[in-house]
Amino acid sequence: MTETRARSRSIFLSAVLVGTGVIQYLPPVREYLVTAWTIVALGGAIFLSLMLLEEWEPQRRDPLTRFHWILLTAYLVHQFEEHGVDLYGRPYFFITYVRSVISAIGAADGFSLTPLAIYRTNTLFVWLPLLVAVWGRRRFLWPGLAAGGLVLVNGILHVGLALWRGEYNPGVGSAIALFLPCGLLYFRFVRRRCDVPWQGVAGGVLFGVMLHVLLLLRIRFNLGSEMRPAVLGVVALAPLIANVLYDRRGETTMWLRHLLAITVLPFTVTVLVPWWIARRFDVAPTLASGAGEWIVQITGAALLALGLFFFVASLRRFATEGQGTLAPWDPPRQLVMEGLYRHVRNPMISGVVLFLFGESLVLLSVPHAAWAAAFLGVNLVYIPLFEEPQLERRFGEPYREYCRHVSRLIPRLRPWTPGASRSP
């Protein structure tokens, strides 16, 4: 029976991925669905609603599966109101409405909203992740959390847009009637029935926010109205990829977990965001033209090297002594107080700050310096208010003693030795 279920799940996932490829890359199918996908969505919503009223086996076996089907059904109904016929009876009014919103917020030159872009966004950012959530069930729950976050954030966005403009927008009716209650009830369910911590809920909501920010950036800075389906598909499947890499059953090697954490966090902060800043403010690497600029760039290079050293040394300690990674979802299991941690409590953050300021000096860029200062400011708030209280609850008195002797971000010259300050 177990083998039969595993085979059925494999067939289901294969069908989802192959079907996604067919509707994106097979020209006759794609060209037909670009104009008819909302009718398919409505038919799917009706079919799933009828199925949900029946006591079919997967629902009896796993209520979480039923909830994922409910989320998909709610989104299909929403898509028909948003992109099909809205509550005023206007067929496909979405493009007209969104173009008026884009004119209000401003779009990059050359950007155009096309039916193909809308089709790809909705099928790859909605159908694909929600069907993967159905497949993932409890073992791979991150796609489900991401789907719940997508539903909730989209509902909040529609309501916020209606309040901002003081008018109805296509999709706001189903957002209020379906998205907000379904999203909230889903996260309440996984918290109580699946033992998902608040960090998991926050991660799902953050993924929903990230997708909507990506859409906004595509509009505002013309990052490609017709982005390749493969790129959109990888973004949509990111929660599944992350969940597979970080399998709770411990089947994943440490280097893969570190690779995931580095890609999501430091790489974004030190590479992707600075690259966007350089593009946004026309910052290009240039050699110094005078003695003063040479001193600035050499200092920046030294800060880059020092920051990289701090980061690599901290990462090594996390892996060997802490038995974890730098990511909040996979933190060290043990308190690390050796190496650079004898000089400063957060050498990894200190290293990233040094690296960012080093980038700004090497590039002679004020916008990059502002980004470094902003990153430092965020951590000066986040670390004492959120991170340190959690560490104190996890590690107790040893961590409190450590905090009394080692600074948060500014290294001490002489290394602290645990227990050295205790009376004999």
| Tens-digit pLDDT profile for residues 277-316 | 988 888 888 887 888 889 999 999 999 999 999 888 887 7
H runs (alpha helix) in 324-365: 347-363
Domain map of the chain by residue range?
2-250, 266-405
DSSP code, position 415: P
Residue 418 has a pLDDT of 72
CA distance 132 to 237: 8
> Helices 366-382 and 347-363 meet at what angle, rounded to 10?
170
Cite the beta strand spans of 203-360 per DSSP E. Answer: none
Q: Would you say the C-alpha torsion 297, 298, 299, 303 has a positive or negative sign?
A: positive
Structure confidence by residue, pLDDT tens digits, 341-384: 889 988 889 999 999 999 999 999 999 999 999 999 999 998 89
pLDDT number for residue 167 = 93
Round to whole Å and give the CA distance between 345 and 331.
Answer: 15
Is residue 130 scored above 70 in pLDDT?
yes
Return the pLDDT at 219: 72
Report pLDDT for 235: 82
pLDDT at 226 over 60: no
- What is the rounded CA–CA span in Å between residue 369 and residue 401? 34
CB 71 within 8 A of CB 151: yes
199 C-beta neighbours (distance < 10 Å), count: 13
pLDDT of residue 424: 38
Q: Across residues 150-163, what is the average pLDDT?
A: 94
Q: What is the model's pLDDT at position 11?
A: 85
Does 420 score more than 70 pLDDT? no
Distance between CA atoms of residues 331 and 161, nearest Å: 37
Average pLDDT (12-40) is 90
Share the mean pLDDT of the chain: 84
319 has a pLDDT exceeding 80 = no
Decide: 411 and 350 in contact? Cβ < 8 Å: yes
pLDDT reported for residue 248: 47
SS3 369: helix
Mean pLDDT of 223-240: 74
Residue 197 reports pLDDT greater than 90: no
pLDDT (0 to 100) of residue 109: 63
- ∠ CA(248), CA(254), CA(256), 5° rounding? 85
